[in-house]
Amino acid sequence: MEQKLITVVAAALGVDPELLKLDSAAGEIEAWDSVAQINIVSEVEEEFGVSIPIEKIAELHTIRDFLLYLGAK
Amino acid sequence: MKCALLSNSNIESLSRRVDTRHEMFIGEGYGSWIQELANPTSAMWRFGPAAVVLLLDGTELLHGYEGAKEDTLFAAVDEQITWIERAAELAPAVKFFVSNIDVPPLSVRSMKQVSIERRLEAYWYDRLVALGARVPNMYVMDVKGLIEGRGREQFYSKKRWYLGGMKYSVVAEKTLAKEITRTLDAIAGTGRKKCLLVDLDNTLWGGVIGEDGLEGIQLSETGEGARYRDFQRRIRQLKDLGVILAIVSKNNYTDVQEVFDNHADMVLKKDDFASLKINWSTKPQNIAEVAQDLDIGSDSFVFIDDNPVDREAVRSAMPEVTVPDFPADTTLLPAFLDQIYQDYFFALESTEEDRKRTETYLQNAKRAAERHAAWSVEEFLTALKTKITVRKVMDEDLPRAAQLTQKTNQFNLTTRRYTEQDLQGFRRSADSAVYIASVSDKFGDNGKTFLAILKKAPPDTAEVDTFLMSCRVMGRFIEDQILDHLVRELRQQNVAKLRLHFFPTKKNMPARAMLDRLKGKIVSQEENGNTTWEYDLTQGSPVTQPAYAELMPR
């Protein structure tokens, strides 16, 4: 799941997956701005078949946050 | 290409998905599109776009008009259309692509009540179409059609709207970005293919004519055979957009002839095809012959065949030919052709030359036959009764003129590719002139087939930036005659020197022959073969070739 998540996030950001780590965070990666954050949410929802409530989204800052959210589901 | 994307919703994410070949500008703020359009010093106009895409969301367009009467809404639409019209008229060289609108139901209503949303969609569309008819640089982008194809459920995303003011889902953004990219590519006009090659058995009809016979093949107005009839209808529509059709099929010619003559449900007629290769040779061999017959590079071919072995043979022998996979389920044939149109033949508009192109190729075949009738070249050329009309380009010529620069490879001295906007620039400049010529003969009208761009080089020299001619009218010394005519005009303007350049490419050796016939001297030659000739016009015209056509300046 970890590798798939990184691939999905990389695709949403339009960057090489090699550049991302679990603790990669919004603000630290140049392409990861507020628009990209929404695209990551959309792509993760699509790829993992989940619907992330709007209240949760502000808490998801790193790839690890997404992973924990998906694990907790 | 520089493109401004304006919208009344947040299209930042969408704009990032447009191919990076194109430089995008996006408006600031959701409601600022009118201001960007109307204010000549707005950030958008300072950006200097060659194309403006206006993507409007119907719901947002109605913002602030809740509960308003139809008249009020229509008046608001009229005003918005007027802003678009003014912008399009102020910048005639910029292409405007304006979306139609989709308005999901905004309120509950009884069955007898009129749907204001439907009325508004229709009114907006009618006004856009009328505008497109008045203003040549404005086009309707069928976004509503894309939304209908996917369904609103998939196209819109409430979550993205509330989170970031983005109306569209990820998949919708990808669809829209593809549409925008395709449209911008079409302005540049470089990727378009020219010729569609089709197989016959199990492609234009179901079954094998040689085995199943005229009665046995599947091809009918209704029922199962209708999928092939619908497929043929679409191929015919492609032809009307200027795509050349040719048949490449392993068959007995007489069997196929019988289908053309006697099958009531054949939509495509023999004359719809510019070349017929119906024999037992290999497909690559036949395709090479079509390329020769039509004088079209095989990199401009798209080949459709149901047989994977034949497709593979063509792919490996001629990698430059585009060979799409054939649908396994033939009910998808009409949709398959729609995709082929979108991917390889997409056009913003079609010119009169496009509609008549196949006819022209067929006439050419007849001309060639006449030449073979043991005449001398001179007799043949005289008997053709060619007429040339030369004049400076006008607004209405620009689409064809741009197309000529983008598609002409063989008789092209410099192979410089230009957009309509570029040509408009040359046309308006006092230091350059653009000439176009039409050629007709006793077999028919070849249309606008010649283009030249001349530039002044102080103090008294004229520089030929572009000198090209469609391959349809090559081999008649028309180029010498037109040059001679241009020289006469230049001499009247006291131009003393003419400079011609030749930039060699893989394909343009035919153009070199003219330079060898002219009286002049090479003044520079670079390592890559780029060569410049100079002609002293004070000594008269450099043209020595006798003329065979009648030339009419206008």
Can you tell me the distance from the alpha carbon of B308 to that of B325, in angstroms, rounded to the nearest whole number? 8
- Identify whether the C-beta of residue B55 lies closer than 8 Å to the C-beta of residue B74: no
Task: Inform me whether the C-beta atom of residue A47 falls under 8 Å from chain B C-beta atoms.
Answer: no
CB neighbour list of residue A19: distance below 8 Å, 6 or more residues apart = A10, A29
Q: Which tokens sit at B309?
A: 């072995």
Q: Which tokens sit at B378?
A: 């001179």
User: For chain B, what is the mean pLDDT?
Assistant: 91
Closest-CA residue in chain A for B165? A35
Closest-CA residue in chain A for B11? A35
User: For chain A, what is the mean pLDDT?
Assistant: 90
The pLDDT value recorded for residue B172 is: 97
pLDDT over 90, % of chain B: 68
Residue of B150, B548, B527, B163 whose CA lies nearest to B387 = B548
Domain map of chain A by residue range?
A: 2-72
Residue of B191, B147, B130, B203 whose CA lies nearest to B417 = B191
Window from B348-362, B389-403, B416-430 with minimum mean pLDDT: B348-362
- The distance of A35 to chain B (nearest Cα, Å) reads 6
B397-411: pLDDT as tens digits:
999 999 999 988 889
Q: What's the average model confidence in pLDDT over B488-510? A: 91
Does the beta-carbon distance from B164 to A38 stay under 8 Å? yes
Which ipTM score applies to this complex? 0.91
B86-143: pLDDT as tens digits:
999 989 999 999 999 999 987 788 888 888 899 999 999 999 999 999 999 999 999 9
b (16+ CB within 10 A) / e for A52-69: beeeeeeebbbbbbbbeb
Task: Inform me whether the C-beta atom of residue B174 falls under 8 Å from chain A C-beta atoms.
Answer: no
The residue written with tokens 């028309």 in the block is B478
Q: Which of B10, B16, B157 sits opposite A42 (nearest CB)?
A: B157
Q: Which CATH number fits domain A2-72: 2.40.30.10, 1.10.3720.10, 1.10.600.10, 1.10.1200.10?
A: 1.10.1200.10
- Identify whether the C-beta of residue B5 lies closer than 8 Å to the C-beta of residue B24: yes
Does the beta-carbon distance from B163 to A54 stay under 8 Å? yes
The pLDDT value recorded for residue B371 is: 64
At B459 the three-state DSSP class reads coil
Q: In chain B, what are the domains?
A: 2-188 (3.40.50.1110), 195-347 (3.40.50.1000), 370-553 (3.40.630.30)
B172-216: pLDDT as tens digits:
999 999 999 999 988 887 678 999 999 999 999 999 998 888 999
Can you tell me the distance from the alpha carbon of B377 to that of B130, in angstroms, rounded to the nearest whole number? 51
Closest-CA residue in chain A for B158? A54
Q: Which of B10, B16, B160 sits opposite A42 (nearest CB)?
A: B160
